[in-house]
Structure 1
Amino acid sequence: MFRKSTAYLLLVFAILLSVLLSIFRPIPQFNYDFETFFPQEDQDLYFYQSFKNQFENDNDYLLVALGSPDGELLSADFLAEASSVHTEIQKLEKVDTVISILNLEQPVIGVFGLSTRKVLDWTDKSSLQKTSENLDQYRSRLISKDGKSLLLWIKNEQNISKSDGDILYNSIKDIFSQHKIVPMAIAGKIQTQGDFVKLMQDEFGLFFGCSIVLMLFLLVLIFRSWWAVIIPLFVLIIGVAWAFGLLIYLGKPLDVMSVMQPTIFMIVGLSALIHFFTHLIKKLKEGDDKHKAIRAVFKGLVVPVWLTILTTSLGFVSLYFTTIPALQDFGWSTGLGVLVMFFAVILVAPGLLFLLPITISTSLQKSEKPSVLLAVFSWQLKHRKWIGFSFLGITLLCLALGSTLKINGYLLDNLPTDHPIQQDFEYFNEQYGGSNPLEIYLSVGSGANSLLDYEVLGEIDKIEAKIQELFGEGQIISPLTVVKTINQAQNQGDPQAFELPSKGQRQRMDRWLGKALESKGPKVLTDDKKSGRLSARAPDLGSLKMTALREELNEFVKQEVNPDLLQVRWTGTAYLIDKGHKSVTLQMAKGLGVAFLLVGIIVGFLFRSWRISFLLLIPNFIPLIWMLGLMYVLGIEFKLTTAILFTVAFGIAVDDSIHFMSRLKQELKLGKNLIYGLKRTYLETGKAIVLTTIVLTAGFGLLIFSQFGVTHFTGLLISASLIFALLADLMLLPLLLLPLKKIWEKKFKN
C-alpha cells in the first residue's frame, strides 16, 4: 500500500477531494440551544413536552430593565419615552405580549360594574404622585427592589427559531437606540443564544488560528527541518478541512462544544504524525534509503497508529451512549473527525514524503548523548517498591478527596462570572427575584372538581407562601393570582386585598372569573379547570442548592398539602437542566463503561491476552482518579461538562500505552528477553510518547484561555490527565509487566 506509485495515487485522490470541497464549500451553521442538555428518554422530559402543549414554553421571554438616564425613574418624560418603547416592541411581528407597569391596568368592581384604571398614570403631576404611592405591591416584580428600574416582560413567539430570534432581538435593540434608552440589563433566550453564538464564532476562528501557530511552533521545535514542518502542517490543515466539511455536510451545526474541535483534530493528527516522522528520521539517520524507509515506517506503524486513533475516537464516540443530546452530538462528531484526520495522514503524508526532497540536517546526524530516559529506566528498576507504593498512596488519596466532590451546575456556567451576560442575569436575580423559570404543574385531587374551588385555592396559597420563603419574593403567577386580582378589584383596588379572599367573597366572584381568564397574559388554567400551572422566577442558585430546595418544597407539600385536593409536580426547563447535572454520575459511568469495554476488546484482539488488556487499563485508570484529586484541589465541581472529560481523557491517554505495548511485542517477537525488550521500548517508543504528550498537553492547554467553561475545563483537566498518563505509562506500566516475565517470554518466543 505504501509503495511510491500507490502513495502518489492516494495523494492525487486527496487533492481531487480537496478541490471538490473548495468548489462545493459547505456553509457552517452556528447554534446554541440549552435544551440539548436535557436528559432524553426521561419521563420528566415527556411530561414537560405535554405541559408545553397544554400551556406554553417557560423560557420564550425576554427580560429588560429600563432605568432613567437622569436617575429619576418616576419622571413623566422618562415614563412617556419608555411607554413609546413598550408600544413599538408590542407591534413587532414575533412579539406575543409585553407586560410592564407602563400598561398595567387595575380592574375595579363597583356598583356600575367592572372598570379599569392605570396602575401608573403620568398624564399630570397629581395623577403621577397619587398612583406612584401604591407601587410597593409591584416591587421585585415589575419595579426593581431599589426602585431604580422598571421591567419589560417581553413574551415572544413560541418555539422561535434561532434566525427569527436574532432578527427580533436586533429589532428590539434598534427601538432602544432610536429612543436613546440604554437598558440596565437584558436577559432571555433570544439574547443569550445570540450572544453565545457570536462568542462561539469569535472563539472558533481564534482557536483555529492559534492551533495552527502552535502546531507550527511545535513542529519546528521537535524536528528542526523544513520538510518535517511543512508536510505535517499541510496534512493537518487538509485533515481539519475534511473533518469539518464532512460534519457540515451531515447537517451538524457548530455549537458551544465545537469550539475545541479544531484543536482536538489537529493535536490528535499531529501526535500520529510525530510517531511516523520520529521513526522515519531515525531510519534516515541510520543510513536507510529514503523510499525503503518511508515504506517500512508506514507499513510498520500503520496498525498501532490506527489503533491509537481508533481508541481516541471511541473515547469520544462512547459519549453517544449518554442520554444528553449535546454530549451525544459532540461525541459522534468528534470521534468521526478524529478518524478523518487519520485518513488524511495516510492519504497525504506518504505521497508528499516521496515527492519532496528529504534531507537530514547536520545537527540531527550528530551522535546523541546518553538518553535521560535510560537513566530514568535504570533508576526505576532499583526503586520498584517505592514507585509502586507512591502510585498507590497518591491514588488512594485522590480517590478519598474525589469522593467528597459535589455535583453542581449552573445554567450559565459555561461563561466566566465577569461576562456581561452573567452580570445582566445577576441583576435580575438581585432586583427582580430571579431570571430562571420555575414551573410547577397543578392538578386537582380526587376530592375536588376545579383548581378554583375555595379549598384548593387555600392549598395553592400555602405552596406560594413556601415558594417565596425558599426562592425569594419574585412574582408568582397561578390560578390563585387571578382570584387575588379579582378580590383586589372588589375592594376598590386596595393593594392589601391582593390575597386569598374569604369563602363568601370567593363565591361572589364567579361572574368575573371567566372574563379574567380570557384576558391576555400567561395561561394558568386548562379549559376544564382541572389542571394549571404555578409559574415564577428564581435566581440561578446551582443544581445542588436548587435540588435541595425542591426537595424541601416536596416535603412541605407531603406534610402540609391535602393530596385529595391538590397534586403538584415539578417541571420546566431549569428543572430538566438541573436533573441533567444530577445524572452526571450515571452519564460518566455509561461513557467510561463503554470506553473500557471497547478498548479492552481492541487490546485483547491485538495481543490475544486478557491479562494484557487488564494490565493496560490500570495505568490508564489511575490518571482518571488523579483528575478527581486535582478537581478537589482546584475547587472544580462535578457537572455534565466536566464529567464527560473522564471518558475523553481515557480515550486519548490509552494511546501511549498501546504504542508502548505494540513496540514491546515486536521486541519480544525478535527473541529478546523482557528486561531488554522493555529497555529498547522505553528508549525509542518512550521518546515518541514524551513528544506526543508535549504536543497534546500544549494543544489542550491552549483551550484553557477560552471564555467557555466547558472548553476551559477541557483544556485544564485533559492536559493534566495526559501528564498523569505519561507518568503512569513510563513509571508504572513497566513495573507491572516485570512479574510476568516468564509468561511474556514464552508467549512471544518464536
Structure 2
Amino acid sequence: MFEKKSAFWGLGLSAVISLMLLLLRPQLLFDYDFESFFPSDDPELAFYQDFRERFENDNDYLLIALGNSSGIFEKGFLENASRFQSELKKLEFAERVISILDLEESIINPFGIVKRKVLDWSDALTLSTTSERVLKDPQFSENLISKEGDYLLIILKNKQLITKEEGDQLYGSVKQLLENSGIETYYSAGKIKAQGEFVSLLQAEFAFFLGISFLLIIVVLYLIFRTWWGILVPVFVLATGIAWTIAIMMLLGKPLDIMSVMQPTILLVVGLSAMVHYLTFYLTQLRNGLPKDKAIHATFSGLFLAIFLTFLTTSLGFFSLYATSAVSLKMFGLFSGLGVLLMFLSVVLITPGLLYLLGPLSSVSRDKWVENWRIGLRISLLLTLANRKLVVIGFGLVSVLSLIGISQLQINGYLLDNLPRDHKLVEEFNFFDRQFGGSKPLEISLEVGEKAKTLLDREVLEEIVVLETFLHDKFSVRTIISPLTLVKNINKALNGGNVNAFRLPSPGQMLLISSNVEMALEKAGLKLLSEDRKSGRLSSRTSDEGSLKSSILKKELEDFLKSEINSDLLKVKLTGTSILIDKSHETITYQMAKGLGIAFVLVGLVIGFLFRSWRISLLVLLPNVIPLLWMCGVMWLLGIELKLTTAIVFTVAFGIAVDDSIHFMTKLQSELKKGKSLLYAIKRTYLETGKAIILTTLILVSGFSILIFSDFGVTYLAGLLISMALVFALLSDLLLLPILLLPMKKIFDSKINQSSN
C-alpha cells in the first residue's frame, strides 16, 4: 500500500482534491450568534419563540448613554443630544428611538387631553422645574436618566431579528453619529454592538492563532529533526489538512464562529502528533540500516493501525458533541471531527510520497541523543516498577482529592463570558448595570387565569402589583413596563400628571381607565397586550450577576408564584433570551457529561475490538479518566466554574489524550504477537513509544498553550485546561498504565494464544 508507486498515486489524489476545492471557490465568512448556544430541544425555547411572535424580540435594542460632566440639565447639551437623536431616527433599520428628550405626558381633564413635554428646556425656569420633577419620578430616574443626573439614556429599537450584516451597518452609522456629535462622554451596549465586536475580535484571533501555530510547528520540528525536509513535509501536510477542512466548512455554508478559533490549533497539534510518530519511527528505521524505500514502507505499514485509531478516537470525541442540543456545539463537534479525519487523509495520502521525493537518500547515523533517550526511559520504567505501590497510592490520593473538588464545582456563566472582565465591551455593559438598572433583558409572560376576563381586571392588576414588588426586591429591577404600568400612567394623567398618582387606581377610578387604554397603548410604543387583553408581557432590565444567581432567583420566583400569586387570576412565566442563555450553561454542562459518556463507550468499543477483551478496554480507559478528574481538581483550586465554555473541554481533552494510550497498546500487542513475555513486551513498548509519546505531548501542550493568549474565554480556558489534562495523561500513560498491565498477564496470554490458533 505504501510502495513508491502507490505513494505517488496518493500525492496525485490529494492534488486533485485540492484543485477541486479551489475551483469551487469557497468564501470565508465570520459570524457570531449567541442564540446558537440555546438548547434547541428545550421547551422553554419553543415557548419564547412563540412569545416573541406575539410581542417582540426582547434584545433588539441598543442602549446609548450621553454624559455631561456638569450634568445633563444644560440647554446646550440637551440641544446637542436632541440633534443626535433626530439623526438616529433617520437611520435604516432603526424602528423607534426612546428617550426623555422628546417624551410627552398626557394630562386628562374635563376639557380633553393636554400634552406636555416631560423635559422642557425652552427657558431656564422651565428647565429647572421639569428637571426637578423628572429626578423625583421613579419612571425616569435610574431608567432614562442616571440617579446623579449626569447621563441620559437613549434606547434605539432596531429592526426585529436583525441580521448580522444589517446590525453592523446600523451600529456603524450610530458610531459615526456619536463621533461627530460633539457629546463629551458616551457609552453604548446591545446585541448589534456585541456581535460586531465579537466578529472583529474573532477575525483577528483566527489569523493570529493560525499564524502563531505554524510558527510554533516550525520551531518544534526544527528542534526535533534539525533537517529541512523534517520541517517542509509536516508543514505542507498540515496546511493541506487545515485548508481542506476550512474549504469544506465554507462550501457547506458553515461560517467561522467563536468556536472555530480553536479549530486550526486543534487540527495542527493533532496532525503534528501523527507526523512526529511517523517521522520518529522513520528515522529509527534508517538508523537501524534499512534503505530509504523499505524504511518508508515499514514506517507507514507498521504504524497505520495505531495512527488510524488515534485519529478515529479523537474524531469520535468531537463527534460526541453532536449529542448536545446547542447548534453551535453540534456544528463545532461535527466539523472538528470531520477536520480530524480530513487531516488523517492528508497525512496518509501526502506524507509517503513527499518522503520518497524529499527524504534522506541514505541511512541516518545514530547520535548521542537517541541513546540518552533510551537511558532516560529505561531508568523511568525501572523506578516506576520498583515503586508500584507508591505510584498507585499517589494517583489514588490525588484522584480522591479531585473528586472532593468536583463536588465543590458550581455551574455559573455570564452573558459576555467569552470576554475577560476588564475588556472594554464588558466595562460598557457594566456601566449600564450601574447607572440604568442593567443591560440584560428581563422578560415575563402574563396570562389571565380561569377566573379573570382580561389582564386589565383590577383583581388581576393587584396580582401584578404583588409580582412587581417581588421583582423590585429580589431582582433589583428599577423600572418595569407592563399592563400595570399602562394603567398607572393613565391614572397619573387623570390626576393632572401628579407623580404620586402613578399607582394602581381605586376601584371607582378604574371605571375611567378603560376609555383611555387604546390611547395609552399607542403611546407606549411597544406591544404590551394581545388584542383580546388575555395575554401580555412584563419587561425590564437587570444587571448580569451570573447564571448561578439567576437560577437561584428563578427558583425563588417560582416558589413565590406558587405561594403568593393566585393562578386562577394570573399565570406568570419567566422567559426571554437572558433566561435561555443562563439555562444553557447548566443544560450544556449536563449534556456534555452525556456526550463524554458516549465518547467513553465508543473509545472503549474500539479498544475492546482491538484486543477482544472488555477488561483490557476498561483498563486502558482508566488512565484517561484520571486526567479528567485531576483537571476538575485544578479547576476547583483555580476557582474556574463549570459553564458552557468549560464543559466542552472535557470531551476534547479525552479525545486527544487517549491517543497515547492507543499507541502504547498497539505497540504492546505487536510485541506480544512476536512471542515476547508481558514484562519484556512492556519494556520494549515503553522504550520505543515513550519518546514519541513525550514529544507528542510536548507538542500538543505547546500548541494548546498558545490559546491562553486569547481574549475569548472559551479559547483561553480550552488552552489552559486541555494542556493540563494532556500533561496528566502523559503521567498516567508512563507511570500508571505499565503497572496496571502487569496483573493482566493471563488475559493477554489467552488472547495471544487465541489469535495464533
Counterpart of 2:705 (choices 697, 701, 722) is: 701
Q: Is the 8 A contact 1:407 1:584 kept in 2?
A: no
For 1:197, the equivalent position in structure 2 comes to 199
* Conservation of the 8 A alpha-carbon contact between 1:285 and 1:365: no
Letter of the structure 2 residue corresponding to residue 59 of structure 1: N
Q: Deviations over 1:116-145 (max 9, x none)?
A: 110001111121111111112211100012
Distance 2:407 2:669 in 1: 38
Q: Deviations over 1:87-132 (max 9, x none)?
A: 1111222111110010110111112111211000111112111111
Paired residues of 1:162 and 1:193 also in contact (CA < 8 A): yes
Note closer, same or farther for the CA distance 1:563–1:45 as it changes in structure 2 (3 Å cut): same
Distance 1:47 1:367, change over 3 A: closer
Which amino acid is 1:582 matched to? E
Give, in whole Å, the separation in 2 of the partners of 1:36 and 1:475: 30
- Structure 2 residue 470 is matched with structure 1 residue 471: no
Match of 1:368 in 2: 371
Residue of structure 1 equivalent to 2:545: 541
**CA–CA separation in structure 1 for the residues paired with 2:301 and 2:212:** 33
Counterpart-to-counterpart distance in 2, 1:739 and 1:494 = 87
CA deviations over 1:190-246 (Å, ceiling 9, x no partner):
000000000000000000000000011110111112111111111111111111111
CA contact (8 A) 1:39 1:45 kept: yes
Does residue 116 of structure 1 match 2:115?
Answer: yes
What's the CA shift for 1:160? 0.6
Does residue 87 of the first structure (1) align with residue 108 of the second (2)? no
| Contact kept in structure 1, 2:287 and 2:364, CA below 8 Å | no
Q: Which residue of 2 aligns with 1:350?
A: 352
Task: Call closer, same or farther: CA 1:596–1:402 in 2, change over 3 Å.
Answer: same
Which amino acid in 2 is paired with 1:375?
Answer: I
Partner of 1:6: 6
Q: Is residue 37–residue 326 contact of structure 2 (8 Å, CA) maintained in 1?
A: yes
Counterpart pick for 1:296 among 295, 298, 316: 298
> Which of 502, 506, 510 is the aligned partner of 2:506?
502
Q: Secondary structure at the match of 2:351?
A: helix
Matched, 1:131 2:125: no
2:622 aligns with one of 612, 618, 625? 618
Identify the residue that residue 56 of structure 1 maps to in structure 2. 56
Partners in 2 of 1:739 and 1:20 — Cα distance? 53
Q: Percent identity?
A: 53
Distance 1:541 1:450 in 2: 34
Aligned length: 749
SS in 2 for 1:408: coil
- Per-residue CA deviations over 1:571-608 (Å, capped at 9, x if unaligned) read 10011111111224421221111101111111111111
Alpha-carbon offset, residue 362 of structure 1:
5.5
Which of 666, 670, 674 is the equivalent residue of 1:662?
A: 666
User: How far is the alpha carbon of 1:22 from its aligned partner?
Assistant: 3.9
Name the aligned partner's letter for residue 603 of structure 2: V
- Cα distance in 2 for partners of 1:542, 1:587 equals 20
Name the counterpart of 2:455: 451
Which whole-Å deviations, capped at 9, do the CAs of 1:429-452 have from their partners, x for residues lacking one?
001111001111001111110000
Counterpart pick for 1:260 among 259, 262, 269: 262
Deviation at 1:23, TM superposition (A): 4.5
Partner of 1:310: 312
Quote the residue 1:17 is aligned against: 17
1:506 Cα deviation after fit: 1.6
CA gap of 1:183–1:342, structure 2 versus 1, over 3 A, is: farther
Pair 1:713-2:717 in alignment: yes
| Helix, strand or coil at the partner of 1:27 | coil
Q: How far off its partner does 1:535 sit?
A: 0.6
Quick check: 1:591–1:644 contact (8 Å CA) kept in 2?
no
Instruction: Give the stretch that moved more between structures: 473-482 or 424-433.
Output: 473-482
Amino acid paired to 1:330: F
CA distance 1:640–1:357, change in 2 (3 Å): closer
CA distances 1:462-505 after superposition (whole Å, capped 9, x unpaired): 11111011122422110011111111111111112111111111
Residue of structure 2 in register with 1:249 after alignment = 251
Q: Is the 8 A contact 1:275 1:688 kept in 2?
A: yes
Bigger shift: residues 523-532 or 512-521: 512-521
Q: Aligned partners of 2:679 and 2:289: how far apart in 1?
A: 28
Q: Distance in 2 between matches of 1:588 and 1:18?
A: 35
Q: Which runs of 4+ in 1 moved over 6 A?
A: none
Report the equivalent of 1:487. Answer: 491
**The residue matched to 1:504 in structure 2 has which SS?**
coil
Distance 1:366 1:288 in 2: 20
Query: Structure 1 pair 182/161, CA: closer, same or farther in 2 (3 Å)?
Result: farther
Give, as a single letter, the amino acid of the residue that structure 2 aligns with 1:212. F
1:26 maps to which residue?
26
SS of 1:564 mapped into structure 2 = coil
1:377 alignment partner in structure 2: 381
The 10-residue stretch of structure 1 (366-375 or 434-443) with the greater mean CA deviation from structure 2: 366-375
What is the rounded CA distance, in whole Å, between the counterparts of 1:55 and 1:42 in structure 2? 20
Residue matched to 2:188: 186
Q: CA deviation at 1:364?
A: 3.9
TM alignment of 1:392-471, pairs within 5 A: 392-471=396-475
Q: Which residue of 2 aligns with 1:592?
A: 596
Write the letter of the residue equivalent to 1:49: Q
Aligned partner of residue 25 in structure 1, secondary structure: coil
Q: What is the 5 A alignment of 1:228-247?
A: 228-247=230-249
TM-score (norm 1): 0.98
Give yes or no for contact 1:626–1:721 (8 Å, CA) kept in 2: yes
Matched residue type, 1:655: D
Instruction: Say what the alpha-carbon RMSD is for the aligned residues.
Output: 1.4
Say if 2:701 is the partner of 1:723: no
CA contact (8 A) 1:428 1:435 kept: yes
3-state SS of 1:411 partner: coil
CA distance, structure 2, for counterparts of residue 245 and residue 119 of structure 1: 57
Q: Residues 694 and 182 (structure 1 numbering): CA distance in 2 closer, same or farther, change over 3 Å?
A: farther
Deviation (angstroms), 1:181: 2.8
Q: Secondary structure at the match of 2:133?
A: coil
Does residue 324 of structure 1 match 2:323? Answer: no
Q: Summarize the Cα distance change of 1:139–1:578 in structure 2 as closer, same or farther, 3 Å threshold.
A: same
1:41 and 2:44 correspond: no
Q: Secondary structure at the match of 1:509?
A: helix
Letter in 1 for 2:417: D
Shift of 1:183: 5.0
Q: How does 1:543-692 map to 2 (within 5 A)?
A: 543-692=547-696
1-structure distance, mates of 2:168, 2:66:
21
Shift of 1:564: 1.1
Q: For residue 663 of structure 1, what is the amino acid of its counterpart?
A: K
The structural deviation recorded for 1:16 is 3.3
SS state at 2:509 partner: helix
Instruction: Report which stretch shifted further, 143-152 or 58-67.
Output: 143-152
Distance in 2 of aligned mates of 1:353 and 1:441: 66
How far the C-alpha of 1:363 sits from its partner, in A, is: 6.9
Question: Which secondary structure does the structure 2 equivalent of 1:570 belong to?
Answer: strand
- Following the alignment from structure 2 to structure 1, what is the Cα–Cα distance between the partners of residues 218 and 256? 25
The answer as to whether partners of 2:444 and 2:575 remain within 8 angstroms in 1 is yes
SS of equivalent to 1:583: helix
Q: Aligned partner of 1:270: which letter?
A: L
Secondary structure at 2:538 match in 1: strand
Tell me how far apart the structure 2 counterparts of residues 357 and 397 of structure 1 sit (CA, whole Å).
Answer: 49
**Following TM superposition, by how much is the alpha carbon of 1:182 offset from its aligned partner in structure 2, in angstroms?**
5.8
Shift of 1:541: 0.6
Q: Distance in 1 between matches of 2:367 and 2:47?
A: 67
Q: Using the alignment, how far apart are the partners of 2:415 and 2:459 within structure 1?
A: 37
CA distance in 1, matches of 2:702, 2:369: 28
Structure 2 residue runs of 5 or longer lacking an equivalent are none
